[in-house]
Structure 1
Amino acid sequence: MTQPPPSPIQPARPSLPPAESWLVGVPNPAQQRQDGYAVAAFATSLPGLVPIAVVLAGVALRRVKRAGGHGKRLAYGALAVSLCWVIAIGVAVTLNLIGDYRRGIGRTVSISQVDVGRCFDADLEAEALRLVRIADCAAPHTGEAYAKVTAALVGLPAAQTGAVATQQCAGAFAEFVGKSYESSDLDMYYVVLEDRAVADGNVLCLVGMPGTRLTGTMRGSQR
Structure 2
Amino acid sequence: MNRQFWKSIWAEGDTGFHQLSINAHLKNFWPTLDLAAGARVLVPLCGASEDMQWLVQQGHRVIGVELAQEAIDAFCTRRHETVIRDRLPNFVRYRQGAVTLLQGDFFHLHPKDVAHVACVYDRAALVALPEPARHRYAFHMAQLLRPGAQLLLVAREQPADRRSPPFSVTQPHLDALFGVNFHIDCLHRHERDDGVVEPVYRLTRKAPVVRSIYRAHG
Return the TM-score normalized by structure 1: 0.23
More strand by share: 2
Query: Based on CA coordinates, which of the two structures has the bigger radius of gyration?
Result: 1
